Amino acid sequence: MDFSLTFSIVIPTYNRPERLATCLQSLTQLDYPREQFEVIVVDDGSPTPLHDVVEPFRDQLSLTLLRQPNAGPAKARNTGAAAAKGRFLAFTDDDCMPAAFWLKTLAARFEQAPDCLIGGHTVNALPQNLYSTTSQVLIDYLYTYYNADAEHARFFASNNIALPTVRFRAIDGFDTTYPRAAAEDRELCDRWLQLGYPMIYAPEVQVYHAHHLSLPSFWRQHFNYGRGAFRFHQVRALRQQQPIRVEPLSFYSDLLAYPFRSACEQPAFVSGLLALSQVAGVAGFFWERLHQPQRQWQFEG
């Protein structure tokens, strides 16, 4: 298949026009030839259409706006990927601001590993918000746990990943049975690895993430992560005919200690919020389990 561009940047969005505008503004600053990338914004059924948000950027970016009925970010990303003209798909979110060198560093990686799924480093753009900080500290910890060997990474969040368009389409993209922004990225990574495809962690590939959280939205975020986690383990167990796997206790003790080892403001408070995130996740996990069709699930420690 011939592609006319190197990169297609795909951004799912729902009802966050100001954040989308900030994201698009950051893309106008990319240090990469304009004729070699496009931007595809997929409006996931926002109450107010986003034409007026996108229109001011059309003279600075090769920009396509697609709209679909509300179906979640997994479906929105697939919709964008289906329209892509780039050899590689680069996914980010509407509350992210890719660094100016984002595509340039991705291109350098793909020159060495053109068939890989590449994940970059996400920087919290709201360090004064301890709820946002804690959510990013959790991701940082997961990356140290799952991606200790950068050449054999196991998990990336979907706000900073890139992969070959042909392979993404060949595996049918994200699993659209995940209706929320929760665990659809874990499932994609797991399926990618199961097919024998490599994943590489590239920390120089950076985006800045401005996800403002309060205590209620922090709880809701991690409750939904727990719901997604149950769905992920359910699908994985069925696919591999294995029990649902639970991480060892050391995973959680190391998580709570992580803020004290990293350059983190108020590590004790952040550690407490990490504990709360796990309580919310467990609550979401078992809430989802109770609302699934009856089945005896086995758990493996």
Q: What is the residue extent of each domain of the chain?
A: 5-214
Give the model's pLDDT for residue 293.
Answer: 65
With H, G, I as helix, E, B as strand and everything else as coil, classify residue 293. Answer: coil
Element containing residue 86 per DSSP (H, E) = strand 86-91
Both tokens assigned to 237: 């167990």
CA angle centred on 129, ends 125 and 133, rounded to 5°: 65
Give the model's pLDDT for residue 297.
Answer: 47
Residues shown for the chain: 301
98 conformational bin, left if phi > 0, alpha if psi -120 to 50, beta if neither: beta
- Of 118, 139, 123, 159, nearest to 13 (Cα)? 159
Helices 249-261 and 130-146, axial angle in degrees (round to 10): 120
| Under 8 Å between Cβ of 68 and 43 | yes
Give the model's pLDDT for residue 177.
Answer: 87
With H, G, I as helix, E, B as strand and everything else as coil, classify residue 271. Answer: helix
DSSP strand pairing (86-91 vs 161-164): antiparallel
How would you write the pLDDT of the chain (301 residues) with one tens digit per residue?
678 999 999 999 999 999 999 999 999 999 999 999 999 999 999 999 999 999 999 999 999 999 999 999 999 999 999 999 999 999 999 999 999 999 999 999 999 999 999 999 999 999 999 999 999 999 999 999 999 999 999 999 999 999 999 999 999 999 998 877 788 999 999 999 999 999 999 999 999 999 999 999 999 999 999 999 988 888 887 777 566 667 889 999 999 999 999 988 899 999 999 999 999 999 999 999 888 765 544 445 5
Give the model's pLDDT for residue 178.
Answer: 84
With H, G, I as helix, E, B as strand and everything else as coil, classify residue 16. Answer: coil
With H, G, I as helix, E, B as strand and everything else as coil, classify residue 264. Answer: coil
- Judged on CB neighbours under 10 Å (0-12, 13-18, 19+), 77 is buried
Question: How far is residue 177 from each of residues 5, 117, 183, 242, measured CA to CA in Å?
Answer: 30, 22, 11, 20
Architecture of domain 5-214: Alpha-Beta Complex (3.90)
Helices 130-146 and 267-290, axial angle in degrees (round to 10): 80
| Under 8 Å between Cβ of 30 and 112 | no
DSSP strand pairing (63-67 vs 37-43): parallel
Query: DSSP class of residue 154?
Result: -
| Under 8 Å between Cβ of 66 and 83 | yes
Specify the residue for token string 């990686």: 109
Q: Which residues, at least 6 apart from 146, have a Cβ–Cβ distance to it below 8 Å? A: 153, 154, 155
Give the model's pLDDT for residue 50.
Answer: 96
| Under 8 Å between Cβ of 254 and 111 | no
| Under 8 Å between Cβ of 42 and 77 | yes
With H, G, I as helix, E, B as strand and everything else as coil, classify residue 161. Answer: strand
Residue burial 158-170, b: 16+ Cβ < 10 Å; e: rest: bbbbbbbbebbee
Give the model's pLDDT for residue 296.
Answer: 47
| Under 8 Å between Cβ of 9 and 37 | yes
What is the C-alpha to C-alpha distance for residues 12 and 105, in angstroms, rounded to an integer?
Answer: 22
